[in-house]
């Protein structure tokens, strides 16, 4: 994992700025013979796309993916050849003028100050490389990653927004993708609650954080490795690499710090089919850094968007105190669109470990 | 980060099993001309060493480090030459017979089952490679890492244990290293509370989790990078790579999911000395994956030790239901000794980024 | 160096097939603040471009580079921001029908058979990923790499073609880029000799190999490292990664196997300016894997193009004996256009080590 | 490949100086379940060991290997567990006083000057990290690597020494390991010729270079990848990483630059057993960076040892002209002992690609 590449055998390199002509990714190390369609990728991008409800940024980007290499056509399908898959998405609706005022100011909570300390210069338009637009490339890569591990399904859901949270008793995966559900919540009852709450936030020119849960089903036992290739380590690394993420936990996560060994340990029995059965999943499907065959469960916390209309105290490049108010179009809760991004990162991390495991051990 | 190596320019490779003749690490990429003594390393190891109080495992290991390469002597000091530093610690007190009963059983909460699914075989003695003994090698590497960034100080503290937590109003860094403090707690008032609580846990043959906080002061602004080399990503990766860690957060972490952008954003002003000042540190010293010059703050959750005396339901290699009770010597709260380990991983992650930043940008 | 990425801190990832819509590269880890123009890149591409004389393939590709990210405009110049630089070149003149006959046949000397053994399928059009067109992306990346090390100049020349070789007494770097010189030869006298020789080869439907020499001047002492980061190792790795290269040597190279230590060792003296002077450069500017400050000298052997009009015995996918004759447009001496490619790889390898050296040691 | 680590999935990290207490390696990523004995490793080390004839350095090192981790005992055999294998060799016969005179002088042809330019300091005793003793660790790692690819046999031979070369008509692999053969030559007739020649060199206090050929049989088709993971690239990288190597070639190598496409291309036919047969092996078993199933053939040139008794002109650290004569014990032809080292590097490179290929494609 270095600079702009994620993964070891299944490697994703992303590039592109918010206000440049395009952004994209190169997916390297994909096995040959994987079948998919351009639509498979586009559908994932559409889930993350801005401008789809009043609860996300009003920037209008079609986010149409072009697949430039690494596949051959076979009827309507594409088949991977084992060579790098380059995908490109053009930026269409960049309004750089929105950012004129803040070219020399550091927006609180943004990367502006840190960037300038690092590079000595920055592309201030839309945050440049630190824009959430970069995550479109991850989602495209994730659409390929989802096809690597046979039988794996990776799904995500928003489980809380600011002070409001779902009722897990109502969890319904099918509802997450419902067109009437602008929040990726699995709880139908939560929709009007989140809608009212976020309308208030939005109208106040404010923003709010969120908590996302990702579940990967169908992951075989044995992926990962004991020390610096722990599966949970690389999932955490992938999720923490998403903009605005401030915390990651696996299984019961921070709750594990509070309980005893008796309560925490997931007991096992031989099931009726003669196969091992776990009686609980506090571990989130990973023990000693290696998958157990249970569902992989990870959660991550997304901070509130730093671009808000309320003026905040800050400084400028010349060393003056200033008050900063961000006028650009922004998500009042960037955590909503983080759901497909989190899924993509988990899919990429697991796909990579699937190939690594197969490489080292010869097991499939 | 792959297999058993952590880091990109400052690279740590660890090796060794709990019940083999020795364990150790190779620290590669260390700058030349770094001065330290063997005692500097030994003192860090002594902080993590087992057998020092009734609250940690009674295994007696002197953990004496041998430094085999990468340094030249200069009086009492050692000076790094820029070549790999190999450090070795002999295992002395391995009692393999303690593990005889569980050679064919999978201990709930341990990596036993996952290991066998991965490798088809395992070294069951003391958990083999997944033993907490491996972390001694990390602490030795961290002792070198601490010297890479001029002026950096990395300290850690246990902030909660099971249901008990410290009072932050009593925070005293000096007390953390006090000989009367067997818990690395920064709150003197908490010592008898933790002691009573853990005595109860220990006598019940149980175990409990803990929460650790690591603070790195003196980290210059500009370390890290926007996408897959985020400083917080690599700190999270390092902390999640420690045995039994189930969650990591930066700054206010999961709390950020609950609040608004106004509350979250750390405002700035020009200080009396003409330098930028942050008015809060919700971000934990990292914005957009890049350090801001504020203190780096990370917390991680350690699950309760899975080795407990209470029998738990499990299965064996032959597909039988069994009840497992672990008789080996174990920490009732493995989170205590995780404090110096967490410090080591944070020091290694920051040292690596310091070198990478200097490499890419030429800034020091 | 893995899959399709070259380099450690200065990382180049290339993608694209000969007969897909486009090819390109992502240059990651470039320092911020490097100034260049689109023309700087285009001029390097023009040197490698096909169709410029009767001695190279008649495929007509404008090879116009688009720079999609990683830079901000400053007047006519571009300035790197430290983020990944994505460059794209569209394929214009792909004639897939030329390859119809060989879809199921393995061309001797080509990668066809090996590809199919690896991936189970292949993109036969123009060799797919193994086409020499991929090298355009390397040349674009090299144009950036050339600007990383202050004062470095990397130049290359063809020193022999088949049975014909230059007279080193006539070496004239300025002549290499002369418009009347279609061979990148540094010896003006050799032009008619090479022209006659290659006309004969070309008219016979044959092809011939060549030897290329690359010289990097202005490389500071201290780049590289003793064991697996040897500067000559990574230069050799980069040159061997070019299609059709079968051998690499540094300095006097294979000649060193034949001589004594007295003759081989480059003696030193303090020069009139008080600085160290080497009295010869048998080492090619590298000792113990580390640059000495002398010119870096590397040579590589390019095999004859395997696409020839003379029928050769081979087999097809169905296990039949067949005779193969390649009708596509090809270079009679692919070694000619290998000159700018070799320069690019040497520039990339040295740029990477410059950043790594600065990272580890803090020296610039 | 970075710093002191070689390989991507099968990773070898070496450490240790010529005159420190020990040297060793960590082999990471080895598949579980590989059986070998400590003697298997020791025998390889014994082939490389100094002090075995008057033609190699008279330093007496038993080079006894200790295997510290990554294996479990199964009767007399060791079985790999999939965790890192740490191997250690103690230095016994280091005579640092031999080097007293040259602490401040730069030996021509050695890395002394380059080291000091890089690190600002150096361990002058025996060359420190650049000593040929480091290669013992590679040979130990290679002994494991040889067992990864089922059926693979890697052998090497010295094919020329200075002005003398073998007669390939006499090639006899069995003779290479003959106790009466101190040169690893495959040509029995060459022994007295090399012996006389090298006696003359040795008595004159001189040294001489050599050419080594490595052949890997039983390598399956499909290993390697088209661009920056070419099998020949990584073999070249591994061989160039050996001390004193100045050139590498694959198959007919530099000869390919001189011939036509007709002569170079290896034709194919379906054999009597219905399997593909190559009619020649100019490619050295690799096409387009991918193995073809033919023997892998690589050659590398080793320069003459720079440590010679004849005084050479040089400078010292204080900027004075000096004459340098090296008194330490040295190999008059370091190329002899390079044979098992070259084998080890080729075995490691192929083992790594075997695992990578299995990982990406699922083929074994």
Q: B192-227: per-residue pLDDT in tens?
A: 999 999 999 999 999 999 999 999 999 999 999 999
Burial A128-143 (b: 16+ CB within 10 A, else e): bbbbbbbbbbbbbbbb
Residue A99: pLDDT band by 50, 70, 90 thresholds?
low
**Chains adjacent to C (≥3 CB pairs closer than 8 angstroms):** A, B, D
Identify which of C2, C230, C291 has the shortest CB distance to residue D240. Answer: C230
Identify which of B4, B13, B69 has the shortest CB distance to residue D16. Answer: B69
User: Cβ B28–D13 below 8 Å, yes or no?
Assistant: yes
Query: What is the average pLDDT score of chain B?
Result: 92
List, for residues D176-218, the tens digit of each pLDDT value: 999 899 999 999 999 999 999 999 999 999 999 999 999 999 9
Q: C322 vs chain B: nearest CA distance in angstroms?
A: 45
pLDDT surpassing 70 at residue C328:
no
Residues of D in contact with C304 (CB under 8 A): 256, 259-261, 263-264
CB A256 within 8 A of CB B304: yes
Q: How high is the pLDDT of residue B341?
A: 97
Q: C124 vs chain A: nearest CA distance in angstroms?
A: 10
Cβ-Cβ contacts under 8 Å for D212 (sequence gap 6 or more): D156, D157, D158, D159, D184, D299, D300, D302, D335, D338, D339, D342
Q: How high is the pLDDT of residue A121?
A: 83
A14 to chain C: closest CA residue? C84
B116 to chain D: closest CA residue? D81
List, for residues A268-319, the tens digit of each pLDDT value: 999 999 999 999 999 999 999 999 999 999 999 999 998 888 889 999 999 9
pLDDT surpassing 80 at residue D57:
no
Residue C224: pLDDT band by 50, 70, 90 thresholds?
very high
B interface residues, D as partner, C-beta within 8 Å: 2-5, 11, 13-17, 20-24, 26, 28-29, 32-33, 66, 68-70, 72, 79, 81-86, 88, 118-123, 128-129
CB D287 within 8 A of CB C113: yes
Measured between alpha carbons, how far is B287 from B282 in angstroms, rounded to an integer?
10
Residue A126: pLDDT band by 50, 70, 90 thresholds?
low
Residues of D in contact with B4 (CB under 8 A): 26, 28, 83-84
| Nearest partner of D231 among D142, D323, D295, judged by Cα | D295
pLDDT surpassing 80 at residue A93:
no
What is the pLDDT averaged over residues A125-148? 90
Beta-bridge partners for C302: C210, C245
Helix (H, G, I), strand (E, B) or coil at B104: coil
| Nearest partner of A294 among A215, A358, A192, A184, judged by Cα | A215
Measured between alpha carbons, how far is A326 from A332 in angstroms, rounded to an integer?
12
Q: C328 vs chain D: nearest CA distance in angstroms?
A: 15
B9 to chain A: closest CA residue? A2
> Looking at A117-126, B34-43, B279-288, D139-148, which range is the least confident one?
A117-126
User: Cβ A356–D226 below 8 Å, yes or no?
Assistant: no
List, for residues C72-95, the tens digit of each pLDDT value: 999 989 999 999 999 999 998 766
User: Cβ B355–C355 below 8 Å, yes or no?
Assistant: no
Residue with the bigger pLDDT between C304 and C95: it is C304
Q: How high is the pLDDT of residue A334?
A: 92
Identify which of A355, A361, A364 has the shortest CB distance to residue D31. Answer: A361
SS (H, E, C) chain A: CECCEECCCCEEEEEECCCCCEEEEEEECCCCCCEECHHHHHHHHHHHCCCCCCCCCCCCCCCCEEECCCEEEECCEEEECCCCEEEEEECCCCCHHHHHHHCCECCCCCCHHHHHHHHCCCCCHHHHHHCHHHHHHHHHHHHHHCCCCCCCEEEEEEEEECCEECCHHHCCHHHHCCCCCCCCCCCCCHHHHHHHHHHHHHHCCCCECEEEEEEEECCCCCCECCCCCCHHHHHHHHHHCCCCEEEEEECCHHHHHHCEHHHHCCCEEECCCCCEEECCCCCCCEECCEECCCCEEEEEEECCCCCCCCCEEEEECCCCEEEECCCCCCCCCCCCCHHHHHHHHHHHHHHHHHHHHHHHHCCC
What is the pLDDT averaged over residues C20-40? 96
User: Cβ C31–B360 below 8 Å, yes or no?
Assistant: yes
B109 to chain A: closest CA residue? A265
Backbone φ and ψ for D345, nearest 5 degrees, come out as -70, -40
User: Cβ C359–B9 below 8 Å, yes or no?
Assistant: yes
Identify which of B250, B288, B315 has the shortest CB distance to residue A114. Answer: B288
Q: How many residues does chain C have?
A: 364
Angle between helices D135-145 and D38-48 (to 10 degrees): 140
Burial class (CB in 10 A: 0-12, 13-18, 19+), A283: buried
Backbone φ and ψ for B174, nearest 5 degrees, come out as -60, -30
- Chain A interface mutation, best of B3, B18, B118, B121, highest count of A Cβ atoms under 10 Å: B118
Q: B344 vs chain D: nearest CA distance in angstroms?
A: 21
Extract the tokens encoding B122. 């395992």
Q: How high is the pLDDT of residue A61?
A: 79
| Nearest partner of A296 among A234, A256, A251, judged by Cα | A251
- Chain B interface mutation, best of D86, D126, D355, highest count of B Cβ atoms under 10 Å: D86
Work out the percent of chain D whose per-residue pLDDT is above 70: 96
CB B314 within 8 A of CB B106: yes
List, for residues A227-281, the tens digit of each pLDDT value: 999 999 999 999 999 999 999 999 999 999 999 999 999 999 999 999 999 999 9
Measured between alpha carbons, how far is B233 from A294 in angstroms, rounded to an integer?
25
Identify which of D29, D225, D360 has the shortest CB distance to residue A360. Answer: D29
Q: How high is the pLDDT of residue C8?
A: 96
Work out the percent of chain B whose per-residue pLDDT is above 70: 95
What is the pLDDT averaged over residues C232-238? 98
Q: How high is the pLDDT of residue A50?
A: 73
Q: How high is the pLDDT of residue D19?
A: 81
Identify which of B163, B227, B361 has the shortest CB distance to residue A118. Answer: B361
Q: How high is the pLDDT of residue D329?
A: 65
D270 to chain C: closest CA residue? C321
List, for residues B82-116, the tens digit of each pLDDT value: 999 999 999 987 665 555 666 788 988 888 999 99
Q: How high is the pLDDT of residue C100?
A: 61
B85 to chain D: closest CA residue? D15
Chains B, C: CB contacts within 8 A come to 46
> Looking at A179-183, B67-71, B348-352, D6-10, which range is the least confident one?
A179-183
CB D356 within 8 A of CB D290: no
C interface residues, A as partner, C-beta within 8 Å: 2-5, 11, 13-17, 20-24, 26, 28-29, 32-33, 66, 68-70, 72, 79, 81-86, 88, 118-123, 128-129
| Nearest partner of C84 among A2, A92, A10, judged by Cα | A2
User: Cβ A359–D9 below 8 Å, yes or no?
Assistant: yes
Residue A95: pLDDT band by 50, 70, 90 thresholds?
low
The single-letter DSSP state of residue C60 is -
pLDDT surpassing 80 at residue A120:
yes
Measured between alpha carbons, how far is A25 from C250 in angstroms, rounded to an integer?
36
Q: How high is the pLDDT of residue C93?
A: 75
**Chains adjacent to D (≥3 CB pairs closer than 8 angstroms):** A, B, C
Chains A, C: CB contacts within 8 A come to 138
Measured between alpha carbons, how far is D40 from A56 in angstroms, rounded to an integer?
64
Q: C335 vs chain D: nearest CA distance in angstroms?
A: 8
Q: How high is the pLDDT of residue B336?
A: 95
Burial D105-141 (b: 16+ CB within 10 A, else e): bbbbbbbbbbbbbbbbbbbbbbbbbbbbbbbbbbbbb
- Chain D interface mutation, best of A70, A222, A360, highest count of D Cβ atoms under 10 Å: A360
pLDDT surpassing 90 at residue A30:
yes
Query: How many C-beta atoms surround the C-beta of residue C62 within 10 A?
Result: 14
Q: How high is the pLDDT of residue A19?
A: 81
Q: How high is the pLDDT of residue A53?
A: 79
Residues of D in contact with A361 (CB under 8 A): 31-32, 82
Residues of B in contact with A253 (CB under 8 A): 246-247, 301
SS (H, E, C) chain D: CECCEECCCCEEEEEECCCCCEEEEEEECCCCCCEECHHHHHHHHHHHCCCCCCCCCCCCCCCCEEECCCEEEECCEEEECCCCEEEEEECCCCCHHHHHHHCCECCCCCCHHHHHHHHCCCCCHHHHHHCHHHHHHHHHHHHHHCCCCCCCEEEEEEEEECCEECCHHHCCHHHHCCCCCCCCCCCCCHHHHHHHHHHHHHHCCCCECEEEEEEEECCCCCCECCCCCCHHHHHHHHHHCCCCEEEEEECCHHHHHHCEHHHHCCCEEECCCCCEEECCCCCCCEECCEECCCCEEEEEEECCCCCCCCCEEEEECCCCEEEECCCCCCCCCCCCCHHHHHHHHHHHHHHHHHHHHHHHHCCC
Measured between alpha carbons, how far is A185 from A168 in angstroms, rounded to an integer?
10
CB A11 within 8 A of CB A140: no
Query: What is the average pLDDT score of chain A?
Result: 92
A interface residues, C as partner, C-beta within 8 Å: 2-5, 11, 13-17, 20-24, 26, 28-29, 32-33, 66, 68-70, 72, 79, 81-86, 88, 118-123, 128-129
Residue with the bigger pLDDT between C2 and B97: it is C2
Q: How high is the pLDDT of residue A136?
A: 95
Cβ-Cβ contacts under 8 Å for D3 (sequence gap 6 or more): B11, B28, B29, B84, C225, C227, C228, C229
What is the pLDDT averaged over residues C310-336? 87
List, for residues D287-327, the tens digit of each pLDDT value: 999 999 999 999 999 999 988 888 899 999 999 999 988 77
List, for residues C123-161, the tens digit of each pLDDT value: 766 678 888 889 999 999 999 999 999 999 999 999 999
User: Cβ A84–C28 below 8 Å, yes or no?
Assistant: no
CB C333 within 8 A of CB C312: no
Residue D128: pLDDT band by 50, 70, 90 thresholds?
confident
Identify which of A284, A304, A314 has the shortest CB distance to residue B264. Answer: A304
Extract the tokens encoding B160. 């909660």
CB B267 within 8 A of CB A322: no
CB D4 within 8 A of CB C227: yes
Q: How high is the pLDDT of residue D126?
A: 64
What is the pLDDT averaged over residues B309-315? 90
B14 to chain A: closest CA residue? A227
Cβ-Cβ contacts under 8 Å for D312 (sequence gap 6 or more): C262, C265, C267, D107, D108, D109, D323, D324, D325
User: Cβ C13–A84 below 8 Å, yes or no?
Assistant: yes
Q: How high is the pLDDT of residue D86?
A: 98
């Amino acid at each position: 994992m270095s600079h702009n590449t994620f993964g070891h055998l299944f490697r994703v390199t992303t590039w592109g700025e918010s206000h440049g002509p395009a952004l994209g990714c190169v997916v390297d190390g994909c096995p040959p013979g994987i079948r998919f369609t351009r639509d498979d990728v586009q559908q994932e991008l559409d889930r993350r796309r801005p401008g789809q409800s009043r609860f996300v940024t009003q920037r209008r980007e079609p986010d149409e993916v072009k697949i430039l290499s690494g596949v051959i056509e076979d009827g309507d399908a594409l088949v991977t050849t084992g060579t790098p898959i380059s995908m490109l998405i053009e930026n269409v609706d960049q309004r750089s003028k929105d950012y004129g005022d803040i070219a020399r100011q550091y927006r609180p909570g943004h990367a502006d100050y840190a960037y300038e300390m690092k590079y000595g210069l920055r592309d201030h338009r839309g945050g440049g490389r630190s824009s959430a637009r970069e995550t479109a490339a991850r989602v495209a890569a994730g659409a390929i990653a989802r096809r690597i591990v046979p039988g794996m399904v990776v799904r995500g859901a928003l489980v809380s927004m600011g002070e409001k949270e779902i009722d897990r008793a109502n969890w319904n995966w099918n509802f997450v993708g419902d067109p009437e559900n602008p929040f990726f919540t699995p709880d139908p009852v939560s929709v009007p609650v989140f809608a009212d709450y976020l309308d208030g936030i939005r109208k106040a020119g404010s923003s709010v954080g969120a908590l996302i849960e990702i579940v990967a089903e169908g992951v075989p036992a044995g992926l990962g490795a004991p020390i610096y290739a722990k599966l949970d380590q690389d999932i955490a690394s992938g999720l923490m690499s998403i903009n605005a993420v401030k915390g990651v936990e696996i299984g019961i996560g921070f709750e594990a710090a509070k309980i005893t060994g008796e309560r925490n340990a997931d007991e096992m029995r031989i099931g009726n089919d003669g196969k091992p059965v776990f009686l609980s999943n506090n571990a989130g499907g990973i023990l000693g850094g290696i998958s157990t065959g249970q569902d992989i469960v990870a959660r991550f916390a997304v901070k509130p968007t730093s671009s808000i209309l309320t003026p905040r105290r800050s400084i400028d490049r010349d060393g003056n105190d200033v008050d900063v108010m961000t006028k650009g179009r922004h998500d009042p809760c960037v955590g909503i669109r983080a759901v497909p991004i989190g899924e993509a990162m988990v899919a990429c991390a697991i796909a990579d470990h699937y190939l690594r495991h197969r490489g080292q051990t010869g097991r499939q």
